[in-house]
């Protein structure tokens, strides 16, 4: 592929899958030098949609099979670590703090990565393209933009814990980091404001291994407890067999978590970095202008699975403390 094509691909990312009859197309977005630092990646996409290149009448699309070929010429950073989480456990803030260092690219819950992973559930005929498409998409998002980047951190969606084996197969030597939290606190947070995985049906039940009979018997308010139960079981399984996996509990504090991650992946943060992290940590991860105030339930959380969740949580804690 010549340099003209390489230059043409710079500052473009695959942003959405489009299903058309028997084909899957990729819609492209020009991002110029827009930093990927918003709490939600959709916010970054909305900013980029306003760029002149994206306002043209005809949109840039390609077939998904071409992703892998085009990605071969991209000057990108290879993944330093994947960050898995159970939601509401500090992962958004950790991702943002990592992204504040000029040598880091930090990607948080990129929608098209999720679309590619879930593609077989929507279009089984293209299931065999998932691996190549995901690797290629990550390369495009990991393009070097300021010339100083040499590390890439990828925060997954919480349900990507269920895609652990696929990601481990694709990236056998990449460190995996798992953030978790006391399940009662997570349930409390989800009851106040539900994430999409906490709403039955927004994420395909097949991902979690749920059958219709179970779902029909489960009250909508109890659905998140089933999700946390599945997440916890998967974390225990991963921690029991994956030597390149780090468990971190929200209650350790963000400062300690950042230092643990640094040691785990072999990097160092200087006093200036630590000061910047400390100042940013004062503010809400998803509402950056608001001072963060921790809230806890004033009375016990009601959930039929809470007893089992507490037991699973204790098992995860034992695995973390053994290391």
- Which pLDDT does position 148 carry in this prediction? 85
Output the pLDDT for position 150.
94
Instruction: Let me know if residue 86 belongs to a domain.
Output: yes
Structure tokens at 245: 């996996």
33 is a domain residue: no
Query: Is residue 5 a part of any domain in this protein?
Result: no
- What pLDDT is recorded for position 192? 84
Q: Is residue 11 part of a domain?
A: no
Q: Per the structure block, which two tokens stand in for 184?
A: 């009662």
Supply the range of the domain harboring residue 177: 77-103+150-322
- pLDDT given at position 282: 76
pLDDT at 291: 67
Quick check: 227 and 160 in contact, CB under 8 A?
A: no
The reply to whether 89 falls in a domain is yes
Confirm whether 226 is domain-assigned: yes
Task: Classify residue 127: in a domain, yes or no.
Answer: no
pLDDT digits (tens, 9 = 90+) for 161-212: 999 999 999 999 999 999 999 999 999 889 888 999 999 889 999 999 998 8
CATH number of the CATH domain containing 201: 3.40.50.300
> In terms of C-beta density within 10 A (0-12 exposed, 13-18 middle, 19 or more buried), how is residue 316 classed?
buried
Condensed to tens digits (0 to 9), the pLDDT of residues 79-108 reads 999 999 999 999 999 999 999 888 999 999
- C-alpha dihedral over 104, 109, 112, 117, to 10 degrees? 110
- Structurally, how many domains does the chain consist of? 1
Residues of the chain with pLDDT under 70: 1-7, 284-294, 296-302
pLDDT at 1 (0 to 100): 46
> pTM for the full model?
0.92
């Amino acid at each position: 592929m010549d340099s003209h094509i390489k230059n043409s691909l710079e500052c473009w990312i695959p942003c959405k899958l489009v299903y058309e009859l028997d084909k899957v197309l990729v819609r492209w977005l020009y991002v110029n030098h827009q930093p990927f630092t918003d709490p939600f990646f959709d916010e970054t996409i909305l900013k980029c949609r306003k760029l002149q290149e994206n306002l043209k009448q005809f949109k840039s699309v390609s077939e998904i099979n071409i992703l892998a070929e085009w990605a071969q010429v991209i000057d990108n950073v290879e993944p330093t670590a994947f960050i898995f989480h159970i939601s509401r456990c500090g992962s958004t803030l950790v991702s943002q703090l990592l992204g504040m260092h000029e040598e880091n690219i930090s990607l948080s819950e990129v929608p098209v990565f999720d679309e590619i992973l879930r593609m077989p559930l929507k279009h089984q005929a293209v299931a065999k393209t998932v691996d190549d498409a995901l690797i290629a998409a990550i390369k495009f998002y990991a393009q070097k933009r300021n010339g100083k980047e040499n590390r890439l951190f990828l925060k997954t969606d919480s349900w990507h814990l269920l895609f652990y084996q696929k990601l481990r197969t694709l990236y056998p030597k990449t460190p995996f980091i798992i953030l978790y939290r006391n399940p009662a606190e997570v349930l409390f947070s989800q009851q106040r404001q539900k994430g999409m995985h906490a709403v039955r049906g927004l994420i395909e039940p097949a991902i979690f291994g749920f059958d219709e009979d179970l779902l029909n018997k489960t009250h909508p308010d109890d659905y998140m407890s089933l999700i946390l139960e599945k997440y916890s079981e998967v974390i225990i399984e991963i921690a029991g067999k994956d030597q390149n996996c780090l468990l971190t509990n929200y209650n350790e504090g963000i400062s300690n978590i950042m230092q643990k991650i640094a040691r785990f992946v072999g990097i160092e943060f200087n006093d200036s970095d630590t000061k910047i992290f400390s100042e940013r940590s004062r503010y809400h991860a998803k509402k950056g202008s608001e001072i963060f105030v921790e809230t806890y339930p004033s009375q016990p959380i009601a959930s039929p699975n809470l007893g089992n969740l507490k037991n699973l949580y204790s098992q995860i804690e034992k695995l973390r403390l053994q290391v």
